[in-house]
Amino acid sequence: MGQLEQTTARFRGLRLNATAMRLPDLLADAEANSVSYLAFADMLAEHEQRCRDGRRVELNRRKAGFPSDKRLEGFDYRHQTTITKRQVNALLDFGFIDNRENLVFIGPPGVGKTHLAIGIGQKALEAGYKVLFRTALDLVEELELAEMKGELKRRVSQLAKFDVIVIDELGYLPMNRQARYNLFQLINSLYEYRSVILTTNKDFTSWGEFFHDDNVAVPIIDRVIHHSHIFMLGGESYRLKQKTNG
């Protein structure tokens, strides 16, 4: 076995697989540029770290469960004038995640709430945070199934491992008593511990309508809005505009 093969095998043995795979190219770059020993060592470490970070982001992206690959770069601020690009970009230092704050997008269907929520979630993933996307309906069903199995507390603890949970379309369908209780358990566990990005077509004053119980709506609202950035979105529907222009 030659020196290169032996060194490559050592890297693989140390589970530095990205470096092992690219070692001939990295060596050639170092020799061509007369890189010092220290700089070469840094090149190897930087390459391995970058590859590992990339793999982790892709793994987290698969776990996130985004329904589509919407990006902030594709959001049309010319159409949606009730929120500015500057306002959205101000969120991308992710201080709201580090400070355990929430984002709430309120507005009628089709004005870009979900696009913004997914786009911000994608950016958070790329910055190294763990993100989970669920529609409110899917989340309620998931919690209901866990409760029926006697595993609600365990499932809530699993969900709380994500840095950010995107809850999309809360308020489109009413909830029964058990669903309201289950959702409260989740929101309560996330309160001041994790961040929520919430989209809803209902102003907070109307939340009692789909919860059918102000005694549940009020404590959930309190925990959602206590540390939150709230954006009221207006304008005609994106989808309607695309249809009429198409």
- Which among 12, 31, 64 is the end of a domain? 64
Q: Are residues 59 and 98 in the same domain?
A: no
Per the structure, the complete domain to which residue 240 belongs is given by 72-245
The confidence score (pLDDT) of residue 39 equals 86
Same domain, 98 and 154: yes
Confidence of residue 239 (pLDDT cuts 50, 70, 90): very low
Select from 12, 36, 64 the last residue of a domain.
64
Q: How far apart are CA 150 and CA 141, in angstroms?
A: 14
pLDDT at residue 195, rounded to an integer: 96
| 162 plus 53 within the same structural domain | no
pLDDT in tens, 183-234: 989 999 999 999 999 999 877 666 666 566 666 667 777 788 888 999 998 8
Residues 76 and 106 in one domain: yes
> Does residue 138 sit in the same domain as residue 159?
yes
Q: What is the pTM of this model?
A: 0.79
Cα 106 to chain centroid, rounded: 18
**Same domain flag for 151 and 189:** yes
**What would the pLDDT profile of 130-188 be if each residue is shown by its tens digit?**
999 999 999 999 999 999 999 999 999 999 999 999 999 988 777 888 888 899 899 99
- Return mean pLDDT, the chain: 86
Strand ranges across the sheet with 131-135: 131-135, 164-170, 195-200, 102-106, 228-232
**C-alpha span between 9 and 15 (Å, rounded):** 10
How many CA atoms lie less than 13 Å away from 125 in the CB half-sphere?
26
